[in-house]
Amino acid sequence: MHPSTPAPTERQAQAIALEDEHAAHNYHPLPVVIAEGQGAWVTDIDGRRYLDCLAAYSAVNFGHSNPVLLDAARAQLDRITLTSRAFHNDQLGPFVTELATLAGKDMVLPMNTGAEAVETAIKVSRAWGYRVKGVQDGRANIIVMAGNFHGRTTTIVSFSDDPDAREGFGPYTPGFRTVPYGDASAVAEAIDGDTVAVLVEPIQGEAGIIVPPPSFLPELRALCDERRVLMVADEIQSGLGRVGATFACDLVGVVPDLYLLGKALGGGIVPVSAVVGDRDVLGVLRPGEHGSTFGGNPLAAAVGRAVVALCATGEPQERAELLGRRLHGDLARLIGHGVREVRGAGLWAGIDIEPALATGREVCELLMERGVLAKDTRGSTIRLAPPIVVEPGDLDWAVEQLAEVLRELGER
């Protein structure tokens, strides 16, 4: 183990021990216990402050304790929070209308978590395949990408190629075909008469912020049109401002048939996810075929409306674009100084650390000691994705801390 692995204070150690004793060990968190957050900063139980460069995997795009989003939540808390979809509520109609408008689509199917949005899209695509395209019942296939991350349900891990996510959780759901990410000709070859959808992250987040060749998504769009297959874009992590546009698909001028949204849609307050598409696709579902007790609840819808209103101004997108240019410019200077490669778009960066220098986890631990919270992924990659409200000076400071960590490791 690296000698400077951070030693938590006694209070933190106690809090961590308590969690470890009774919470299932399905995560390996950094040894920091957070108590409060404001904007891009969080404070631990000992009062130490950290710049949050993960933003809950983009669920906190608009900052911790965002006053506008909190106001919307508070106002709704005092009115009504849950009705179930057995009845109408006065927030759902405006929410789905405003979100559909933001996305340029007709309809929204609200759920809670990202994985539920993905599951919904799988069901909708299959139903569309059987009822509209005319695929024989039970034969539909969906094309997915190597390196994908779409969530943790049994069906979704069935088409993951991450052994940690998948192995030991079979039997697996059939009906998926994996092709290399970024290779449209492989998709063309994999499509047959029973293919109902191509499910794709426009930028792969968990895989290490992998940006496909610029021609990939436009080629996929053309292919889906030609072969009558739905293009389903999982924008759960890439959407709603992160990449300097409302959707990562916007960066290459592509409009998918279905957008999958989650994470930032709940403003970091409540889980809100959605499938957004046109009537000819989402309209295939009939009452009773799909649902969720909490999906579309008035509190979620009220928060979602405030998030959509924020995005409709275009300000978060513009800020992510500007700050992203600054971030990527600064990070590019670290290449050759402990960094092998930097990828990303907007305020979203995947940084490959020289494997000989340290693992991604070690770099994240050293960053934590310096007051920067980041997360490693797949070995020696770390990601930076601070809330879009981050101050430019704070962003510069975080990159300086990374440069310092790499310099120290180089002298080891």
Q: Compute the CA torsion angle 41, 42, 48, 51 (nearest 10 deg).
A: -40
Name residue, tokens 């649902």.
Answer: 291
Nearest CB to ligand PLP, comparing residues 113 and 317 = 113
d(CA 78, CA 97): 23
CA-based nearest residue to 311, from 300, 320, 323, 298: 320
Which of residues 99 and 358 has its CB atom nearest to ligand PLP in the complex? Answer: 99
Residue 147 lies near ligand PLP (rule: CB under 6 A): no
Q: Is 149 in the site for ligand PLP (CB under 6 A)?
A: yes
Q: What span, in angstroms and rounded, lies between the C-alpha atoms of 96 and 106?
A: 9
- Contact predicate 38/65, CB 8 Å: yes
The answer for residues whose C-beta is within 8 angstroms of residue 317's C-beta and 6 or more apart is: 241, 244, 245, 246, 311
Applying CB under 6 A, does 198 fall inside the site for ligand PLP? no
3-state SS, residue 276: strand
Using the rule CB under 6 A, is 205 a contact of ligand PLP? yes
Of 204 and 401, which CB lies nearer to ligand PLP in the complex structure? 204
The stretch among 143-151, 212-220, 343-351, 362-370 that binds ligand PLP (CB under 6 A) is 143-151
105 is catalytic: no
Residue 119 touching ligand PLP (CB under 6 A) = no
Instruction: Determine whether 133 is an active site residue.
Output: no
Q: Does 236 bind ligand PLP (CB under 6 A)?
A: yes
Q: Residue type at 215?
A: S
Residue with tokens 């179930």, as numbered in its chain: 84
Among 237, 246, 381, 401, binds ligand PLP (CB under 6 A): 237
Q: Is 149 a catalytic residue?
A: yes
CA–CA dist 73, 306 (Å, integer): 9
Asked if 310 and 316 count as a contact pair (C-beta separation under 8 A), the reply is yes
The binder of ligand PLP chosen from 63, 114, 239, 298 (CB under 6 A): 114
User: Among 44, 52, 105, 149, which one carries the catalytic annotation?
Assistant: 149
- Map residues 74-113 to x or -, x wherever contact with ligand PLP holds by CB under 6 A: ---------------------------------------x
What binding mask, one character per residue, do residues 1-40 give for ligand PLP by CB under 6 A, x or -?
----------------------------------------
Give the catalytic positions in this structure: 149, 234, 263
